[in-house]
């Protein structure tokens, strides 16, 4: 006579509820982490553009208030920006530096360019162009108004 085993389940499959819970957890983790990956691509580009813009605003305002002239030297070979302000000389590394456009020299992407900010403003309009992985930005300085704008996805 065959015996029946009651209470012992040898089921090796997943239930529908277990699959739904696992899919929900995986989708939640992806939803939280995916925006982080996309922001990391051009996060440095935006950060550098904002930092350069704030330095230019600070130097322009300082030149007007102290009635002194401050120089900003951009070196393309070293990808650095040297400047002397009221706090002394400083150097910033700009990894995403592409080129600078001035009215007198046009597009410059090698060597060194000096821009002067005086009590009456900069001598000319200029823009510093940065290039990231998937986009580009430009920091535009208006010599007449002393305003600095950061423009995204500007042509290179």
The whole-model pTM stands at 0.69
Q: For residue 54, what are its two tokens?
A: 């704030």
* CATH number for the domain harbouring residue 61: 3.55.40.10
What is the domain count for the chain? 1
Please write the tens of the pLDDT for every residue from 73-86.
Answer: 999 889 999 998 88
Q: Is the dihedral of CA 47, 139, 151, 97 positive or negative?
A: negative
Residue 93 DSSP SS3: strand
Residues 6+ apart with CB under 8 A from 57: 148
Residue 80 located in a structural domain: yes
Residue 37 located in a structural domain: no
Residues spanned by the domain of 84: 42-152
Residue 84 located in a structural domain: yes
Whole-number pLDDT of residue 105: 85
**Strand 80-85 vs strand 88-93: parallel, antiparallel, or unpaired?**
antiparallel
Residue 35 located in a structural domain: no
Ranges of beta strands (E only) in 1-156 are 70-75, 80-85, 88-93, 97-102, 106-108, 112-118, 121-122, 126-131, 136-141, 148-152
Residue 117 located in a structural domain: yes
Residue 6 located in a structural domain: no
Please write the tens of the pLDDT for every residue from 96-110.
Answer: 888 998 888 888 888
What 8-state DSSP symbol labels residue 124?
S
**Cβ-contact 71, 115 below 8 angstroms:** yes
Mean pLDDT by 10 residues, the chain (156 residues): 58 82 90 65 80 91 90 90 88 88 86 87 86 86 88 65
Residue 105 located in a structural domain: yes
Residue 9 located in a structural domain: no
In Å, what is the CA distance from 27 to each residue of 14, 22, 37? 19, 9, 15
């Amino acid at each position: 006579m065959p015996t029946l085993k009651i209470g012992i389940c040898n089921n090796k499959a997943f239930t529908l509820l277990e699959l739904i819970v696992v899919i929900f957890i995986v989708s939640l983790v992806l939803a939280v982490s995916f925006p982080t990956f996309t922001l990391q691509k051009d996060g440095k580009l935006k950060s550098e553009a904002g930092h350069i813009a704030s330095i230019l605003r600070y130097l322009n305002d300082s030149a007007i208030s102290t009635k002194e002239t401050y120089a900003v030297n951009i070196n393309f070979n070293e990808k650095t920006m040297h400047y002397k302000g009221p706090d002394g000389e400083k150097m910033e590394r700009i990894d995403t530096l592409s080129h600078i456009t001035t009215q007198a020299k046009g597009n410059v992407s090698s060597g060194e360019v000096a821009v002067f900010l005086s009590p009456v403003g900069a001598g000319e309009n200029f823009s510093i162009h940065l290039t990231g992985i998937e986009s580009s930005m430009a920091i535009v300085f208006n010599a007449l108004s002393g305003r600095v704008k950061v423009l995204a996805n500007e042509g290179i």
